[in-house]
Amino acid sequence: MKDFEKVLLNAMIYSYGVMLSKCLPSEMENISRDIGSNLISYLKEFGMEFRQSDTVEDTVANIINAFVEEGFVEDVVIDPTTEKGMYCKWVNLVGIEAFSRLYRETGSAFISCPLSMIVMAVIGPMGYRLRVNDIKFDLKGKVAETWEEFEMKRARMAV
């Protein structure tokens, strides 16, 4: 098989995403955040650091930059001022084929994305969650475009 490692990684991302899509949204968020915490611990053992900043935007930018430096995505262009939320253009994203297929089949593209799970693990304790408003894929150009926003988690009332 040609490009076995790439195909296997896409298969793992896809399979895990399908399984997560069967969970309730709150379960999916908790599981993904827990996996993100485990990914952070594991990657720290190999020297990868994720710096938390004063703002959620800067914290997420630090995480994205770490993934760009390590080659998970070749380039990311961010425009925070669009009507549909922060625009991100992800160029040559590892796993793009799996993310596109997950989006077509489940409506959730990045539920099994390591970068997304790490972001969720880091911004969750800051009181935020990431909401994706729209996604477009160009598989020939190896580009994903997303429109996202950070939303404050709602406080729960004790009963």
Sequence-ordered strand ranges (E) for the chain: 75-79, 86-91, 128-138, 143-152
The CA–CA distances, whole Å, from 78 to 8, 31, 141, 147, 153 equal 29, 27, 18, 10, 23
- Residue 8 burial (C-beta neighbours within 10 Å; 0-12, 13-18, 19+): exposed
Q: What confidence tens digit (pLDDT) does each residue in 78-106 have?
A: 998 778 889 999 999 999 999 999 999 99
Confidence of residue 52 (pLDDT cuts 50, 70, 90): confident
Residue 150's beta-bridge partner residues?
Answer: 130
Average pLDDT, the chain: 92
* Residue 114 neighbours by CB distance under 10 Å: 17
Spatial separation of the C-alpha atoms in residues 113 and 148, rounded to whole Å: 15
pLDDT tens track for 102-113: 999 999 999 999
Q: What is the mean pLDDT of residues 41-60?
A: 92
- Residues for the chain: how many in total? 159
The candidate with the shortest Cα–Cα distance to 120, out of 16, 28, 21, is 28
Q: Among 1.10.8, 1.10.3470, 3.30.70, 3.30.1380, name the CATH number for the domain at 4-152.
A: 3.30.1380
pLDDT exceeds cutoff 70 at 155: no
What 3-state DSSP class applies to 6?
helix
57 near 149, Cβ under 8 Å? no
Model confidence band, residue 157 (pLDDT cutoffs 50, 70, 90): low
pLDDT in tens, 22-36: 998 889 889 999 999
